[in-house]
Structure 1
Amino acid sequence: MATIKDIAKKAGVSPATVSRVLNYDQDLSVTDKTKKRVFEAAELLNYQPKKKSQKTAQKIAILTWYNEQEELDDIYYLSIRLGAEKKIQEIGYEPQQFSNQQALPTPPEYVGMIAIGKFSPEQMTMIADTELPTVFVDLNTLDDGFDSVTTNFHYPVKQIVDHFQSVGINDIGMLAGQELTSDQKLELSDQRYLTFRNIMRDRQLLNPNLVRTGNFTVKSGHDMMLEMIDQLDFQLPHAIFAANDALAIGALHALKERNIAVPARVSIIGFNDSTVAKYFSPQLSSVKVDTELMGQKSVELLLDRLETERTVPINLNIGTELILRESSK
């Protein structure tokens, strides 16, 4: 794992600044540009470079559904994008990022597209109209006729509940996330919450009072955790499952503010195992989602589609790994 000093050197900032950025220090006064540099340096230093092949430098578009600020609030998608960009370069193509606010790329300048995030049916129709072979990442589009790369949710959520119960904890709460497609036309269900709810209900452990739902941001995790502390007092659950690492980090900040010991009183496990999880204090237990692999496989699917002219869509569902660190028993 890269050290704080390694990241500081690559980002061109001090080690203290790196530490505060990776810990989402709300009192730190640096620009979003500096934060982005730190996050990208941390991600890139954790990638293993591979040898490039020699091909004509044709362009592959990377379409992102989020803006730059949202990418900083939850670096999950940043990690996927960087993984895709590196793979595109390795196979000899040129990556070009597009936001959802820009006109969509078209052939012949572009040979294909990687669409990262959540898109509404209307947006998928517009993407189909470009006639570019497209692979979606983090959205199962098999029924829509597109290739896609997604993450398995059922098994890791079951692992988390099993782990908490194995250490004697049955009062398990959750900080769930909610989001909309970038055109604000479709509200998306959090599959992690639906899985958690079903597992807890089947085990007769589900308590709706121990669940909060908000945005997938550090601020949202902080606010929901404070609300839970104030409303539940001594009935605060002994374990919290957060739907992503940003929510978990916000919750850890709130628990620290209220002098609630982690993990002695409350254990927390996040989801995604972003680079930040390793550098936060206490180090965050989390479900590792191999975002580099997701980005890589999306490009490989696109390349397969280009080279074979395959018409049958494929969905690759990537497995996960539960990583236990200091934030949980």
Structure 2
Amino acid sequence: MATIRDIAERAGVSLATVSRVLNYDESLNVADTTRKKIFEIAQELEYVTTKNRKSKKPSLRIGIIKGYSEIEEIEDTYYLFIRHSIEQLLEEEKIQYSIIGKEETIERVKELDGIIAIGGFTNAEMNNLRSWDRNIVFVDYSPEEEDFDSVVVDIRRAVKKALNYLISLGHKSIGFIGGRDSSEQDREEDKDIRERYYHEYMNSKGMLKEEFVRIGSFTPASGYKLMKDILETGKYPTAFFIANDSMAIGAYKAILEKGLKIPDDISIIGFNDISTAKYIVPALTTIRIYTEFMSETTIQMLMERIRDERKISKRVVIPTKLVIRESCKEI
């Protein structure tokens, strides 16, 4: 397994800088380019090529479009890792690629053989993508239209795994900290799918306590603020399921500032298993999403569209794995 020293040597920075970046230390004065470089190296050192890949058609040109901003990519590195692994695979296949914007002209898009779309998109953005009339595969997003390919994660089972594990440890009071991409915070359709399945599961068990639920954005700062808000009430659950690892890292800070210990006082389960998760203390128990496999599947599907001229769309659902580390405790 890669160490912080390995990352520091590759990035050309100190061990302390790597440690503080991986722990989302907001007081660290370092450029966003350096932060991104450290995250990318951490992910790359975990990346293993499963087979020798040789390009059949080196002249292909692929566009990568992101449904999120540069800042969001750094704050929630899940999408950064997906993009990075896709780019690595394309480079191994000697396939040309470029990052394209959501408002690209049709003339430029027509020069591309296919498009990989990462993350979520608004209805207006989907209408623009549809007008491009290109081979498109969506990653971690499934459009309502059945004529698009998509690669998604089995979120319902993942949420069930996390909550079942906490219950197996004896926890009867389990909170939830999550986020929403939309600025609309009240509509049912704007709820993140992890939030929906948490409510569904906890309701089915008769264990739902809304006072232990907080919703913000998918960032460490939001995880810190939301956890702090709950702790300041003086009443909190013995465990939390948190919608992503970045938020969980922020929640760690709030818990430690309160003088509480993880997992002695509060158990934490995250989501995504970003490379940072294993380096924080205590190491984070989380739901692993197989980002490399998602990337492989995405490229295979796009090649089927381009090279084999497949016309029927596919929706591939990727399983997840509960990775047990040190942030949960039996009570």
| Higher mean C-alpha displacement, 44-53 vs 122-131 | 44-53
Measure, in 2, the Cα distance between the counterparts of 1:104 and 1:77. 26
Tell me what 2:25 maps to.
25
Q: Secondary structure at the match of 1:110?
A: coil
1:258 aligns with 2:258: yes
What are the residue-to-residue correspondences of 1:60-75 with 2, within 5 Å? 60-75=62-77
Q: Secondary structure at the match of 1:124?
A: helix
What are the residue-to-residue correspondences of 1:1-329 with 2, within 5 Å? 1-49=1-49, 51-54=52-55, 55-100=57-102, 102-103=104-105, 106-141=108-143, 143-180=145-182, 188-231=190-233, 233=234, 235-329=235-329
Measure, in 1, the Cα distance between the counterparts of 2:136 and 2:4. 37
Moved beyond 3 Å, runs of 4+: 49-52, 99-108
Contact kept, 8 Å, 2:53 with 2:92, in 1: the verdict is: yes
Measure, in 2, the Cα distance between the counterparts of 1:257 and 1:230. 11
**Alignment TM-score, normalising by the size of structure 2:** 0.93
Following superposition, the deviation at residue 97 of structure 1 comes to: 1.2
Measure, in 2, the Cα distance between the counterparts of 1:152 and 1:72. 24
Contact kept, 8 Å, 1:98 with 1:104, in 2: the verdict is: no
Contact kept, 8 Å, 1:142 with 1:148, in 2: the verdict is: no
Deviations 1:86-144 (A, max 9, x none): 22222221121124365467454210000001012221121121121000111112634
Following superposition, the deviation at residue 167 of structure 1 comes to: 1.3
Following superposition, the deviation at residue 83 of structure 1 comes to: 1.6
Number of matched residues? Answer: 323
CA pair 105-22 structure 1, distance change in 2 beyond 3 A: farther
Q: Which amino acid aligns with 2:306?
A: L
Measure, in 1, the Cα distance between the counterparts of 2:322 and 2:305. 33
Contact kept, 8 Å, 1:142 with 1:314, in 2: the verdict is: no
Q: Secondary structure at the match of 1:175?
A: strand
Following superposition, the deviation at residue 145 of structure 1 comes to: 1.4
| Higher mean C-alpha displacement, 47-56 vs 261-270 | 47-56
Following superposition, the deviation at residue 25 of structure 1 comes to: 1.2
| Higher mean C-alpha displacement, 239-248 vs 96-105 | 96-105
Q: Secondary structure at the match of 2:317?
A: strand
Deviations 1:281-324 (A, max 9, x none): 11111000011211221111000111222221100110000011
Q: Secondary structure at the match of 1:113?
A: strand
Contact kept, 8 Å, 2:103 with 2:128, in 1: the verdict is: no
Unaligned runs of 5+ in 1: none
Following superposition, the deviation at residue 179 of structure 1 comes to: 0.6
Deviations 1:158-216 (A, max 9, x none): 111111111111100000111139xxxx9742111111101110110001111000000
Deviations 1:227-256 (A, max 9, x none): 00012x1x3100000000011111001001
Following superposition, the deviation at residue 5 of structure 1 comes to: 1.2
Measure, in 1, the Cα distance between the counterparts of 2:145 and 2:285. 34
Measure, in 2, the Cα distance between the counterparts of 1:101 and 1:219. 30
Contact kept, 8 Å, 1:222 with 1:253, in 2: the verdict is: yes
Unaligned runs of 5+ in 2: none
CA pair 111-253 structure 1, distance change in 2 beyond 3 A: same
**Aligned Cα root-mean-square deviation (Å):** 1.8
**Alignment TM-score, normalising by the size of structure 1:** 0.94
Measure, in 1, the Cα distance between the counterparts of 2:101 and 2:15. 31
Measure, in 1, the Cα distance between the counterparts of 2:191 and 2:168. 29
CA pair 283-101 structure 1, distance change in 2 beyond 3 A: farther
Measure, in 2, the Cα distance between the counterparts of 1:254 and 1:104. 47
CA pair 187-154 structure 1, distance change in 2 beyond 3 A: closer
CA pair 16-104 structure 1, distance change in 2 beyond 3 A: farther
